[in-house]
Structure 1
Amino acid sequence: MAIADLEEPAKLPLTLEQLAYTMALMANLSVTPESALDEVVSKGWLAETTLSDIEDSQELKVGEVFSLVRDLMEFYVGKVYS
């Protein structure tokens, strides 16, 4: 589970690294929290433009999370949400 090692995860901001780790685990990739972002980016699941628009990777905003999940859905599932 992606949040198993986090103490009180509901009280923590969502980071880009944590979101990438969660995505990777959902896709059954063998990654660590530290390697997950590089892995999902190398697979093309997250657009560079989306990543460059993130203001603070240590505390994602709702709109940034939507954009990242949208990228994943577009690439991995073939669905586009706007």
Structure 2
Amino acid sequence: MKNNLDELIELIAEVRLFLELKQKTIIDADQFTSHTQGHINNITRRILALEHDYKEIKDRYSDKPEVFINFRKRAIEIQKEIDSLS
């Protein structure tokens, strides 16, 4: 059984992959604009923040379950934002 930290790493990887696939879909559909690029840049910053927070959780808060719940919620919010890109 994987632990919570492994799950967080997988969540980050899934969100990154989801963004890459969505970006490719938008480019292939010839719908890529500077507005879209701005959204992608913001989402990328949020993913980088998740990665930073993962390191902090690993070092300081791995014994607090509420931290993992909040992390998952943030990852889901980012996925929803990616899904709404067009």
TM-score (norm 2): 0.36
Whose relative contact order is higher, 1 or 2, with alpha carbons under 8 Å and at least 6 apart?
2
| Higher CA-based Rg | 2
